[in-house]
């Protein structure tokens, strides 16, 4: 199987039904994308596929061959992406486990809607944060929008 992840083509062998999440984590060692529920409920495994936010636990890797996949590792390693910068400026993470997915969801939102209202943020940001960092996530999104 071949996948293009963060602009790099990876070639590997896995069971055809393996979800993208487990290819990223177990096969390719890209552990920034997290396992939270396995049923597309929590969003911890969010990645961008052709720029759209998707929950990688519920997408077979075979279904996204040839697509442009972006993970948290592809945003920037040095935290230079504006969304990462805003997350640091607002000191968003607590346990941090959901934040890769939250950041990916925010990148997709801001790409589609550079100045989202609170209502629009509510509608788009449906990932669960068990630490309840929601207020600061909202602030960080506004910070990017107003930069």
Partner 1 sequence: MSNESNSRRNFLRGSAVAVGGLSLGFSLSGCSPSANSAELTADPQGLASDVSVWLSIDTSGIITVRVPSAEMGQGVNTSLPQLIAEELDADWSKVISETAPHTSDFVNPSTLSRGTGGSSAVRRWWPTLAKAGAAAKEMLMSAAAQRWDVPVSELSTLNSTVMHSASGRQAGYGELASAAGQLSIPENPVVKSPADYTLIGKPLKRLDSPAKVNGSTTYGIDIVVEGMSYATVAASPNFVGELISMSEADARAVNGVQDVIEMPASHYVNSGIQSIVAIPDTVAVVANSYWQAKKGLAALKPQFSDGGAAGVNNASLTAGFMAALDQEGVQVRNDGDISDSLSRAEKLLEAEYAVPFLAHLTMEPMNCTAHYQSDSVNGDRLEVWAPTQGQSHAVNVLQQAFGLQADQIRLHTTFMGGGFGRRFEADFVVQAAMISRAAKKPIKMVWSREEDLQHDYYRPASASRFQVGLNAEGLPVAWKNVMACPSVAQRNFSAAVVNGADPFSVEGAVNIPYAIENQLVTLKQHDTSIPVGSWRSVGSSHNGFYVESMMDEVAVAGNHDPFELRRKLLQHEPRFLIVLDQLEEKSGWKQAPAAGRFRGMAIHESFASIVGEVAEISIAENGAIKIHNMTCVIDCGKVVNPSIIETQLASAMIDGLTAALRGGIKIEEGRVVQSNFDTYKLMHMAEVPAMAIHIVDNDEAPGGIGEPAVPPSMPALTNAVFAATGRRVRSLPIEPSLA
Q: Which residues bind partner 1 (CB under 8 A)?
A: 14-15, 17-19, 22, 25-27, 29-39, 41-42, 44, 71-73, 75-79, 84, 87-88, 91-100, 103, 121-123, 125-126, 128-138
**Nearest distance from C-beta of residue 121 to partner 1, angstroms:** 7
Q: Which is nearer to partner 1, 67 or 96 (CB)?
A: 96
Residues recorded for the chain: 147
**Nearest distance from C-beta of residue 140 to partner 1, angstroms:** 10
Q: Which is nearer to partner 1, 68 or 120 (CB)?
A: 120
Q: Which is nearer to partner 1, 40 or 49 (CB)?
A: 40
**Nearest distance from C-beta of residue 147 to partner 1, angstroms:** 16
Q: Which is nearer to partner 1, 9 or 39 (CB)?
A: 39
3-state per-residue secondary structure call for the chain:
CEEEECCEEEECCCCCCCEHHHHHHHHCCCCCCCCCCCCCCCCCCEEEECCEEEEHHHCEHHHHCCCEEECHHHHCCCCCCHHHHHHHHCCCCCCCCCHHHHHHHHHHHHHHCCCCCHHHHHHHCCCCCCCCCHHHHHHHHHHHHCC
**Nearest distance from C-beta of residue 68 to partner 1, angstroms:** 18
Q: Which is nearer to partner 1, 115 or 121 (CB)?
A: 121
**Nearest distance from C-beta of residue 93 to partner 1, angstroms:** 4
Beta sheet of 52-55, edge-to-edge order: 8-11, 2-5, 68-70, 46-49, 52-55
């Amino acid at each position: 199987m071949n996948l293009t992840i963060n602009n790099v083509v990876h070639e590997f062998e896995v069971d055809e039904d393996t979800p993208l999440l487990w290819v990223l984590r177990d096969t390719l060692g890209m552990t920034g994308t997290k396992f939270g529920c396995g049923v597309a409920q929590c969003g911890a495994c969010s990645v961008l596929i052709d720029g759209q936010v998707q929950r990688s636990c519920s997408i077979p890797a075979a279904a996204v061959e040839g697509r442009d996949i972006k993970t948290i590792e592809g945003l920037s390693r040095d935290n230079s992406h504006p969304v990462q910068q805003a997350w640091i400026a607002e000191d968003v993470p607590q346990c941090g486990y959901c934040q890769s997915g939250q950041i990916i969801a925010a990148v997709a939102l801001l790409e589609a809607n550079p100045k989202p209202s609170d209502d629009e943020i509510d509608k788009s940001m449906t990932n669960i944060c068990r630490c309840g960092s929601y207020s600061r996530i909202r602030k960080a999104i506004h910070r990017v929008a107003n930069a």
